[in-house]
Structure 1
Amino acid sequence: METPRQDPDQLQRAVRKDASGAPRGRLKIFFGYAAGVGKTYTMLEAAHQAQERGVDVVAGYIDPHACPQTMSLLDGLEQLPAKEIQHGAIALKEFDIDAALKRKPQLILVDELAHTNAQGSRHVKRYQDVQELLNAGMDVYTTVNVQHIESLNDTVASVTGTLVRERIPDSVFDRADQVELVDIEPRDLLDRLASGNVYREEQARRIAANLFTVEKLTALREIALRRCADRMNLLTEDARIHSRSEYHTDEHILVCLSSSPSNAKIIRTAARMAKAFRGSFTALFVETPGFALMSEEDKKRLRENMRLAQQLGAAIETTYGEDVPYQIAEFARLSGVSKIVIGRSGATRKSIFSKPSLTERLIAHAPNLDIHVIPDASAGSRYHAQKNLSRIIAMPIRDVGKSVLVLLLATLVGQVFHALGFTEANIIAVYIFGVLVTSVITTNQLCGLLSSIVSVLLFNFFFTVPRLTFQFDDPGYFVTFAIMFMIALLTGSLAARLKDNAKQSARAAFRTKTLFETSQLLQKETEEQAVLNATAGQLMKLLRRDLVIYPSDGKKLLTPVVYRMEDSDQADLIAESEKAVAEWVLRNNKHAGATTDTLGSAKCLYLAIRVNQQVYGVIGIALNETHLDAFENSVLLSILGECALALENIKNAREKEEAAILAKNEQLRANLLRAISHDLRTPLTSISGNASNLLSNYQKMDDESRAQIFTDIYNDSMWLINLVENLLAVTRIEEGRVNLSQSAELMDEVITEALRHVNRKSREHTIEVSSTEEFILAQIDAKLIVQVLINLIDNAIKYTPAKSKIGIHTEKQGKWVVVSVSDNGPGIPDAQKPRIFDMFYTGANKVADSRRSLGLGLSLCKSIVTAHGGTISVTDNLPHGTVFTFTVPAGEVELRE
């Protein structure tokens, strides 16, 4: 019998079940290869079918440019009004996410998933709106075309000749619960276009001439079909991993990040390779000394490339060094990378005398790795020339002044050497030293190069014959000038490189020191707020910015704490608008606010302090329009990770402590039940047996027999009553529910009251009461101290033979009253004394009537005395016997008017 094949969508839902356990909505994408294939029409038909099944369906947003046949399907569906946003003189209509969250239907329709929202919306992209709806528990139907998939953008552009700006990350498409391919033959689509069912006639002719051709539509259809097949393969592999089948992958794709305009295409290609190989994906940025000279435009492009790589599922990593190929190869070796993807822009070598290309040097450093070079027609020398030109123009005036001053001093020293008759070699050494100093004290490497050239010219002008001209008589000076220039240039370059390496080493050391200090600080803290305060202090030291931290109890944000720099001029960081962004971050476990695509108008960048899906708080960093650089962002994320781990450790320690208390209580209950089930059986059996005997043989018994039975019943019942009282008292004290009602009491009266309640067998013993003073007052709860004395006296009666002597002695010692209960019985072995006050400990002693004790009396005594602030102990009563001694606070006479 053939095993039925499992539905991949069901498998995916099982694999991608929300780790937090919260209900999450289901996303269904109606996927097409071009406009007009019928995505919106099919989505509306599916919505009507769901409505017939009793599902609460609402049309959140439908593209108003759809054909009349499609729009007619909106009849019978509830529609949310569009939200109007003013953009200059134009009123734009957008999806109203707040109205959708307030209405919260079971199923909501949101057309055009890749749409870019108008400025002023909560999110930059509509797919982010959809993700928030899913997190709120709503199911979503939406539409998207193949050209809007991020990793396919370049491929589709090569077919259509048009680069689409509105795109969604591949992860949104792959994580959808269901994708339905809406397919139609290309010729049928052209017929539909010609009939005016897709666009207006004039617009249809223009589009048909550019995009809607059979060849292009066929290619787009193939890409869409292949993308759906890739998604099915991904679901199958996820299901295989989820079922713990033996599937492993050794592929690790590494793409190199840069500010090059062509880098986006390299990233998309690497992302497709990672999906094809089912491997992990990492994007590496090597920060070189030239990063500080990078223009704002290049830095912005670099951040965009990093964000693109992150959207495509890459883990962003940063290393520091001047030798880029070496840094890439070392990272690949340490991280287990199997394939490296780079662009052709760095793989060109113009001649055999040129410097080896990036690819050649990378192969030399990592000969065992697969290196994929991606061609790119847009990559050329223009970008690099512009970048170098900008560096030359950006050379600070201060560096020029420093260079001129150093060369002037070198020339003056040369003049002195010349006057003293020193050789030209010494003067050349002075200029070389000057170039070396220039390279160290300036920030632009171009200063060293220019100083090398100018030093040769100065030496020629001032120190060669004829002097004060740029002419020279000896042809050998050609070699002298060349060697001088090369030595100056080489030493200057080495000095600049050493300086840059020292800066990078200092930065790396600072990062390591900061993380180490943070780890040490957080490990010492045992309270959540102390951990947050320490984290804020470290971040302010690193970023020099104001912070606001919202602690969280896991469900909502608590009272925020603002941390400000001394020279801060920031406005209110805890306004309602700012708090709303922090609450969004808490709900969605994603960063938002300034410099992001979500609620970007906020003053702060908000990040979750989290471990996996558990959010312990939200931190806001005042940025305004500035961005964090790669170094700051890397250290920030590391510190937040340390903070989250510290908070989780505190939570785990608290839960462990609570679990230990619970286990102790459970053990207490278990011991109690075990003792009760064993030790109560004898008195209960005795009571029931004697009562039955009285009922059956009452008339036949003589008075003496009946009196004996009554006595036995009374003794057994009194034993049970005392036991229950002890159990209740122990339970209240262990749970901390006993409130002492202390007052000044005469100890003689307390002892007299205790003797009235002791076991009847006290008649078989001699009890003597003594005191050092006639009146001794104690500040006590009389009822509880009476219980202590009853237990100690009963204990002496139980464990001593008849006619033994029991003594109760009271004396005052300073601020304490000392009470001792002694007997001359067999005593307690030394081995049992350390545990004599433990609950349920009975030792090896036997009671005269062979009834076993539960071991609660002495434990209760210790709890009561401790609650009074006193102590209790056991010692030997020489020559034989036992003495129990406890202390309670002394009392004073209260004078009343």
Structure 2
Amino acid sequence: MELPRQDPDQLLRAICSDTYTRKSGKLKIFFGYAAGVGKTYAMLQAAHQAKERGIDVVAGYIEPHARPQTMALLDGLEQLPVKKVAYEGMTLREFDIDAALKRNPQLILVDEFAHTNIESSRHTKRYQDVQELLNAGIDVYTTVNVQHIESLNDTVASITGILVRERIPDSAFDQADQVELVDIEPAELLERLASGKVYRKDQAKRAAVNFFTLENLTALREIALRRCADRVNLLTERARIQSRGDYHTDEHILVCLSSSPSNARIIRTAARMARAFRGTFTALYVETSNTAEMSEEDKKRLQDNKRLAQQLGATIETSYGDDVPVQIAEFARLSGISKIVIGRSTIARKNIFSKPTLTERLISSVPNLDIHVIPDANTENSYQKRKRKVQVDTIPLRDVLKSIVVLLAATLIGCGFDALGFTESNIVAVYILGVLVTAVITTNRLCGILTSVVSVLVFNFFFTTPRLTFHFDDPNYIVTFTIMFIVTLLSESLATRLKENAKQSAHTAYRTKILFETNQLLQKEQDENAVITATAGQLMKLLKKDIVVYLSDGKELDVPNVFRTVNSTQEDLISENEKAVADWVFQNNKHAGATTDTLSSAKCLYLAIRVNQHVYGVAGIAVNGIPLDSFENSVLLSILGECALALENIKNAKEKEEAAVLAQNEQLRANLLRAISHDLRTPLTAISGSAGNLLANYKKMDDELREQTFTDIYDDSMWLINLVENLLAVTRIEGGQVNLTRSIELMDEVVSEALKHINRKSKEHTIRVSSGKDFILAHIDAKLIVQVIINLVDNAIKYTPVGSVIEIHTEQKNKWVIVSVADNGPGIPDEQKPRVFDMFYSGANKVVDSRRSLGLGLSLCKSIVTAHGGTIFVSDNLPNGTVFTFTLPAGEVEIHE
């Protein structure tokens, strides 16, 4: 049986959520349908039970209710002092999140989950404070009522007639680990209200009239129960995904964004539908040529609506074009939308000849989709009038001058055509062309419209009889004027639309090009600073704003790098306050700063440069308090994601290189152990055997046997000493632990010192020393060079027969001293010469036990000579034998005055 295919995105989110949950604290919400049901009382009771189980419990903030029974439960609980803040002549009590983080209890109580903090607070909302506590691994108990949940705000307002300002995103409620519904009968709650157990008497009277009615409370209770049931369904769905059970959802809900005051209601409705259908939720904004002309109030409202959609779980998308229904329909077709939620203007068509409304055109454009139309009371007429007035008042003077010049040119050409006997239709075509040119070269659309009107009047004045008047004697000119005006107006409209579409397309293409360029640039960079510089350059090209980037060493942020645009006017972007915001983003892996609800007093918008939960740095954008549009934000996040991937690749490459070095070192150690394990045992066994033989049979031995035994002990001991010296030297040099102690040395003395320490068997060979001139000085570490000469001479003694001649020759050429050690032995085959300086190579590419060679001597020689800046190589000694030659830097005699 074939298992049903699961949605990979949903499965990934479930896995990530499960991983995140294991690392963070647990959240329990005490949920009610109205004030006074006993949420805080139940929370304090649960806190005492937790304390009895040995849990470290602290009351972080408890709302000072006028309820003695509730406040009495605070006895026996540790309470954090509240933060008192002066605000508009009052002293307000706020939750002190820094004190809570410093205290770091196992469990903390934070009342009023939906509370709005004062402006100077780190976070705008208390639920964000709670999220930071959870990220720090602290468990939290909190309280909230049903009217504070964002998606239910409109429903509650329609029931009670009261719009609640303090709200929390649905995700903050649904992601809680536990939700305990605190429920009592509405009639019992009214009795508690009347007896003064909820509010004081004066407050209770007002509440009983405005909010606390049996009808309202019953409806709110039903909504709360249903919301809890919805959460249970959501948890069941998550469990099914995590257990890889059957997963089904084909619904993709699309909500259309606008600056309408009632758009928030439409967004909430779409969010409830997406949750009910367990489908994907997308919010689309269609940017038109009129978007730039929106008032600041409308722009702010639009940004608020986008942020609301994000809080409710929507993915924000942007499309470009003046034909809004076509853009929505095309996006729905390409994105697999199943349902569209849109607002309906209360302004109806005046007659059958009126232009169809946006809703009607959208319905006709996507007949196969479900379209849910929500009543949208929008003051469209006043908005259009205000927009037109702004256009009239703000026509640039240069556009007016351009329009006048084009009309003059068209009139002069028309006069020329008239003089040449051309028909009036040709002159009309000239004016149509003039309107098209005006629409293209001016920035304000009203110029094209006015040019259309004026061109008709000018044509009437100059080219209809009677001339030079606005009168005409032929009634047929009415048709001519009408057609001319309509054609010029349509031409202007089409030209303007094409121009705006071209601008939007070019702008979109430019942003997309920057994203593609970023990917190519970052792939080439191999250094972290180069990656940061390239990323900042691309961000400045995209946003035209100053950029601040902080790299991280994994534990804290490094020194900031500031990248400024050409015309930068920004003040200090790396003040202590800005650094503190960047550090908070690094620690919490969340956005903060300007245009956000967290530390919004900062000058920059700070975003984490991250891959999953690992933060490689923080980028700050000097946004000047103006939010980025959704497309800019999407490209920005993509660029930062590319930057994080590039930094991760560099980190992985470094770790791979370090791992390779460690593996090489481990291989070196293994080879050393394999090589010396047998070779050390053999001479040590021989030494101990010979010494034991001497102790047992010393008096019985003749002089010759005793001498031979002593000689064997001496030879084995000297071999061990040389082996240990070479091992220590090669490991120090290969590990970079040797600091050369250089001085000016006479090479004859260095060679003489080396010959004093060579193998005792040198007496069986002839060793000659020669020099190109009497005094040859070298700038060297004498002890190490002595070791080089010893190893080369011992190597020659070891691999040449008895009676061979070994010659050491030194000479100076320019700034280099050349030293050669030649022998007339059997020589080294050509195929072995490239490997003679490799570690552990001993002629036949193996350890030769009979010769007692580990292949370390020549490798050590190469390391020492290379450390001096010289070279070493091997060649043939004609007619037979081998020559080892190495170079050293020459020295000069220092004269001290």
Residue 656 of structure 1, CA deviation: 2.6
Residue 173 of structure 1, CA deviation: 1.6
Residue 734 of structure 1, CA deviation: 1.2
Contact 2:771 2:811 (C-alpha < 8 Å) held by counterparts: yes
Aligned length: 885
Instruction: State the distance in 2 between where 1:120 and 1:167 align.
Output: 19
Change (3 A) 1:721 1:178: farther
Q: How does 1:54-73 map to 2 (within 5 A)?
A: 54-73=54-73
Aligned residue for 1:812, secondary structure, equals: strand
Q: How does 1:855-894 map to 2 (within 5 A)?
A: 855-894=855-894
Instruction: State the distance in 2 between where 1:807 and 1:245 align.
Output: 84
Q: Aligned pair 1:832/2:819, yes or no?
A: no
Aligned residue for 1:130, secondary structure, equals: helix
Read off the aligned partner of 1:842 and give its amino acid letter.
S
Contact 2:363 2:371 (C-alpha < 8 Å) held by counterparts: no
Read off the aligned partner of 2:371 and give its amino acid letter.
H
Partner of 1:622: 622
Aligned residue for 2:818, secondary structure, equals: strand
Partner of 1:6: none
Instruction: State the distance in 1 between where 2:702 and 2:250 align.
Output: 96
Partner of 1:16: 17
Q: How does 1:798-813 map to 2 (within 5 A)?
A: 798-813=798-813
Instruction: State the distance in 2 between where 1:531 and 1:243 align.
Output: 41
Read off the aligned partner of 1:428 and give its amino acid letter.
V
Contact 1:400 1:447 (C-alpha < 8 Å) held by counterparts: yes
Partner of 1:378: 377
Residue 727 of structure 1, CA deviation: 1.3
Read off the aligned partner of 2:876 and give its amino acid letter.
D
Aligned residue for 1:459, secondary structure, equals: helix
Aligned residue for 2:375, secondary structure, equals: coil
Partner of 1:172: 172
Residue 117 of structure 1, CA deviation: 1.5
Instruction: State the distance in 1 between where 2:150 and 2:411 align.
Output: 60
Q: Aligned pair 1:758/2:780, yes or no?
A: no
Instruction: State the distance in 1 between where 2:218 and 2:145 align.
Output: 14
Change (3 A) 1:506 1:55: same
Contact 1:295 1:390 (C-alpha < 8 Å) held by counterparts: no
Change (3 A) 1:532 1:13: closer
Residue 329 of structure 1, CA deviation: 4.7
Q: How does 1:602-617 map to 2 (within 5 A)?
A: 602-617=602-617
Instruction: State the distance in 1 between where 2:352 and 2:828 align.
Output: 99
Change (3 A) 1:689 1:656: same
Cα deviations across residues 752-790 of structure 1 (Å, max 9, x unaligned)? 222222223333333222222233222211111111112
Cα deviations across residues 251-296 of structure 1 (Å, max 9, x unaligned)? 5443332222232223223333333444443333232222111221
Partner of 2:654: 654
Cα deviations across residues 400-421 of structure 1 (Å, max 9, x unaligned)? 5544554454345434544554
Residue 738 of structure 1, CA deviation: 0.5
Change (3 A) 1:477 1:73: same
Partner of 1:672: 672
Read off the aligned partner of 1:856 and give its amino acid letter.
L
Instruction: State the distance in 2 between where 1:48 and 1:612 align.
Output: 38
Change (3 A) 1:119 1:404: same
Residue 628 of structure 1, CA deviation: 3.5
Residue 896 of structure 1, CA deviation: 5.3
Change (3 A) 1:13 1:429: closer
Partner of 2:508: 508
Read off the aligned partner of 1:621 and give its amino acid letter.
I
Partner of 2:120: 120
Instruction: State the distance in 2 between where 1:787 and 1:536 align.
Output: 53
Q: Aligned pair 1:151/2:151, yes or no?
A: yes
Change (3 A) 1:173 1:846: closer
Q: TM-score normalised to the size of structure 2?
A: 0.90
Partner of 1:135: 135
Aligned residue for 1:196, secondary structure, equals: coil
Aligned residue for 1:183, secondary structure, equals: coil
Aligned residue for 2:290, secondary structure, equals: helix
Greater mean deviation of Cα atoms: 307-316 or 601-610:
601-610
Contact 2:585 2:606 (C-alpha < 8 Å) held by counterparts: yes
Contact 1:85 1:94 (C-alpha < 8 Å) held by counterparts: yes
Aligned residue for 1:299, secondary structure, equals: helix
Q: Aligned pair 1:81/2:100, yes or no?
A: no
Q: Aligned pair 1:426/2:426, yes or no?
A: yes
Greater mean deviation of Cα atoms: 605-614 or 730-739:
605-614
Instruction: State the distance in 1 between where 2:774 and 2:724 align.
Output: 35
- What CA RMSD, in Å, does the superposition of the two structures yield over aligned residues? 3.3
Partner of 2:3: none
Q: Aligned pair 1:481/2:481, yes or no?
A: yes
Partner of 1:746: 746
Instruction: State the distance in 2 between where 1:846 and 1:588 align.
Output: 57
Contact 1:824 1:882 (C-alpha < 8 Å) held by counterparts: yes
Instruction: State the distance in 1 between where 2:15 and 2:514 align.
Output: 41
Read off the aligned partner of 1:770 and give its amino acid letter.
S
Contact 2:403 2:451 (C-alpha < 8 Å) held by counterparts: yes
Q: How does 1:569-580 map to 2 (within 5 A)?
A: 569-580=569-580
Read off the aligned partner of 2:311 and give its amino acid letter.
Q
Greater mean deviation of Cα atoms: 760-769 or 686-695:
686-695
Cα deviations across residues 171-208 of structure 1 (Å, max 9, x unaligned)? 22222232222122333222322322112334334333
Contact 2:547 2:621 (C-alpha < 8 Å) held by counterparts: yes
Aligned residue for 2:504, secondary structure, equals: helix
Residue 148 of structure 1, CA deviation: 1.1
Instruction: State the distance in 2 between where 1:362 and 1:124 align.
Output: 38
Partner of 1:451: 451
Contact 2:65 2:71 (C-alpha < 8 Å) held by counterparts: no
Read off the aligned partner of 1:16 and give its amino acid letter.
S
Change (3 A) 1:454 1:719: same
Cα deviations across residues 115-158 of structure 1 (Å, max 9, x unaligned)? 11123222221112222223333322111111111122223333
Contact 1:798 1:847 (C-alpha < 8 Å) held by counterparts: no
Cα deviations across residues 840-861 of structure 1 (Å, max 9, x unaligned)? 2234178986245222111111
Instruction: State the distance in 1 between where 2:105 and 2:495 align.
Output: 68
Greater mean deviation of Cα atoms: 53-62 or 42-51:
53-62
Instruction: State the distance in 2 between where 1:852 and 1:243 align.
Output: 65
Q: TM-score normalised to the size of structure 1?
A: 0.90
Instruction: State the distance in 2 between where 1:278 and 1:834 align.
Output: 70
Residue 547 of structure 1, CA deviation: 3.9
Residue 876 of structure 1, CA deviation: 1.7
Instruction: State the distance in 1 between where 2:337 and 2:671 align.
Output: 58
Residue 503 of structure 1, CA deviation: 1.0
Partner of 1:108: 108
Instruction: State the distance in 1 between where 2:279 and 2:695 align.
Output: 86
Change (3 A) 1:496 1:710: same
Instruction: State the distance in 2 between where 1:421 and 1:331 align.
Output: 53
Cα deviations across residues 600-653 of structure 1 (Å, max 9, x unaligned)? 223333333333323333333334444444454444434433433333333333
Partner of 1:816: 816
Q: How does 1:401-800 map to 2 (within 5 A)?
A: 402-467=402-467, 472-565=472-565, 568-630=568-630, 632-694=632-694, 701-800=701-800
Cα deviations across residues 690-710 of structure 1 (Å, max 9, x unaligned)? 445555555655444444344
Partner of 2:9: none
Change (3 A) 1:668 1:461: same
Aligned residue for 2:168, secondary structure, equals: coil
Change (3 A) 1:300 1:733: same
Contact 1:20 1:613 (C-alpha < 8 Å) held by counterparts: no
Partner of 1:8: none
Partner of 2:4: none
Greater mean deviation of Cα atoms: 73-82 or 123-132:
73-82
Partner of 2:198: 198
Read off the aligned partner of 1:373 and give its amino acid letter.
H
Aligned residue for 1:310, secondary structure, equals: helix
Q: Aligned pair 1:184/2:184, yes or no?
A: yes
Residue 331 of structure 1, CA deviation: 4.2
Greater mean deviation of Cα atoms: 527-536 or 150-159:
527-536
Read off the aligned partner of 1:255 and give its amino acid letter.
V
Greater mean deviation of Cα atoms: 510-519 or 773-782:
510-519
Greater mean deviation of Cα atoms: 492-501 or 518-527:
518-527
Instruction: State the distance in 2 between where 1:76 and 1:848 align.
Output: 81
Partner of 1:7: none
Partner of 2:41: 41
